[in-house]
C-alpha cells in the first residue's frame, strides 16, 4: 500500500548532528516535508557548509544552524533557544549526534575513550531529550532518538557504542511513560547500517560489515514520519527503519498501545515454547 507523504508544516524541529551523514539526511527530509529546522553540530566548517546547502534548497526562512556540543547544557539550551527565536515553540527533536567510540575487544580499548563515547552517545541523548521535554511540557511534542548497532543484539568490538545505544532505547521507553501526561511522545529509531563516517571508521579498523549498507534517506524518512501527526499515538517504540512496516503503523495503534511489541524485553523460557518456567 502506497503511503501518504509526510507533512511537517508548522513543525519547529531541532536536528542534532545535522551537519553530515544521517543527521543531514534527516534535516533534508524534514525540510522536504515542510518543516522548519535548526541543525547543530560540533564542527564549524561542516556545519556552515550544511546550513548553506540546506538554505540553497529550502530557503533561508526555513533553516538555521548553531555550533553545539550535546553534552553541554548551555549549548543544548542555545540550540533550543535558536529554534524558538527563529521559528516559534519547539515541537520536535530528532537526536542524531553520536560517535563510534573505541573499536576492539574490551581488554584492548582505552577506558577513558570508552567512557567518553558513552558520555556523548547516552548522556548526550539524555540531555537533549531532557531539555526538549522542559520546553514541550506545556504543549506536547515528539522526540526521536537514534539507536544503532548493538541495541538489539551483541556487537563485539564495539562495546561502548553498543552499550550506549541499548541505553538510548531504554531511555526512550522510559521517557515515553514519564512524559505521557504532558502529551510528549518519544520513540527510538534504528536506521540500519548506513554508509556514514562511523562505518568508514569501522572499515578502517578492519571490521568489514557482513550486510549491505542502506541509504541514509531510509532512516531520515522514518524519523520525519515519527515526528509527524501521522505518528500520533505511537510512543515508546524501538523502530528498525529497514525492517519494520512503520509507514502503516497508524493502522495498528491499538496493538501498538496494548502490547510490548517493538520494545526491549527479557526473554523467558515460555517465550521459546519451554515449560520449565
What is the model's pTM? 0.93
Mean pLDDT of the chain: 93
Q: What is the 3-state secondary structure (H, E, C) of the chain?
A: CCCCCCCCCCCEEEEECCCCHHHHHHHHHHHHCCCEEEEEECCHHHHHHHHHHHHHHHCCCCEEEEECCCCCHHHHHHHHHHHHHHCCCCCEEEECCCCCCCCCCCCCCCHHHHHHHHHHHHHHHHHHHHHHHHHHCCCCEEEEEECCCCCCCCCCCCHHHHHHHHHHHHHHHHHHHHCHHHCEEEEEEECCCECCHHHHHHHHCCCCCCCCCECHHHHHHHHHHHCCHHHCCCCCCEEECCCCCHHHHHHHHHHHHCCCCCCCCCCCHHHHCCCCC
pLDDT at position 214: 84
Q: How many domains does the chain have?
A: 1
CB 185 within 8 A of CB 172: no
Is residue 42 domain-resident?
yes
3 falls in which pLDDT band (50, 70, 90)?
Answer: very low
Residues β-bridged to residue 39: 15, 65
Residues of the chain with pLDDT > 90, as a percent, come to 85
Residue 105 has pLDDT above 50, yes or no: yes
Is residue 226 domain-resident?
yes
Give dist(CA 198, CA 156) in Å, integer.
16
Give dist(CA 79, CA 25) in Å, integer.
19
Residues of the chain with pLDDT > 70, as a percent, come to 92
Is residue 234 domain-resident?
yes
The catalytic residue positions are 161
Mean pLDDT, range 21-40, rounded to an integer: 97
pLDDT at position 56: 96
Is residue 155 domain-resident?
yes
pLDDT at position 1: 32
84, burial (CB in 10 Å: exposed 0-12, middle 13-18, buried 19+): middle
Is residue 194 domain-resident?
yes
Domain of residue 223: give its range.
12-272
Give dist(CA 75, CA 70) in Å, integer.
7
CATH number of the domain to which 205 belongs: 3.40.50.720
Is residue 1 domain-resident?
no
Residue 173 has pLDDT above 80, yes or no: yes
Q: Which three cell numbers stand for residue 237?
A: 517504540
Amino acid at each position: 500500500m502506497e503511503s501518504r507523504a509526510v507533512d511537517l508544516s508548522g513543525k519547529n524541529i531541532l536536528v542534532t548532528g545535522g551537519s553530515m551523514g544521517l543527521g543531514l539526511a534527516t534535516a533534508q527530509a524534514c525540510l522536504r516535508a515542510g518543516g522548519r529546522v535548526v541543525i547543530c553540530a560540533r564542527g564549524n566548517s561542516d556545519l556552515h557548509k550544511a546550513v548553506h546547502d540546506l538554505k540553497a534548497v529550502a530557503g533561508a526562512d526555513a533553516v538555521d544552524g548553531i555550533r553545539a556540543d550535546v553534552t553541554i547544557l548551555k549549548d543544548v539550551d542555545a540550540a533550543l533557544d535558536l529554534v524558538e527565536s527563529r521559528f516559534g515553540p519547539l515541537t520536535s527533536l530528532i537526536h542524531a549526534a553520536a560517535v563510534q567510540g573505541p573499536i576492539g575487544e574490551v581488554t584492548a580499548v582505552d577506558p577513558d575513550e570508552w567512557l567518553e563515547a558513552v558520555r556523548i552517545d547516552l548522556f548526550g541523548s539524555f540531555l537533549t531529550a531532557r531539555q526538549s521535554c522542559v520546553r514541550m511540557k506545556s504543549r506536547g511534542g515528539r522526540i526521536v532518538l537514534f539507536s544503532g548497532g548493538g541495541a538489539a543484539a551483541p556487537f563485539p568490538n564495539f562495546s561502548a557504542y553498543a552499550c550506549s545505544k541499548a541505553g538510548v532505547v531504554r531511555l526512550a521507553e522510559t521517557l515515553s511513560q514519564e512524559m505521557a501526561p504532558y502529551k510528549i511522545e518519544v520513540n527510538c529509531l534504528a536506521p540500519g547500517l548506513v554508509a556514514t563516517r562511523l562505518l568508514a571508521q569501522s572499515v578502517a579498523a578492519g571490521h568489514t560489515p557482513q550486510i549491505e549498507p542502506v541509504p541514509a534517506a531510509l532512516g531520515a524518512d522514518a524519523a520525519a514520519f515519527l515526528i509527524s501527526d501521522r505518528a500520533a499515538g505511537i510512543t515508546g517504540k524501538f523502530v528498525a527503519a529497514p525492517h519494520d512496516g512503520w509507514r502503516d503503523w497508524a493502522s495498528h495503534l491499538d496493538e501498538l498501545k496494548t502490547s510490548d511489541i517493538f520494545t526491549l524485553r527479557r526473554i523467558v523460557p515460555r517465550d521459546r515454547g519451554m515449560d520449565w518456567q
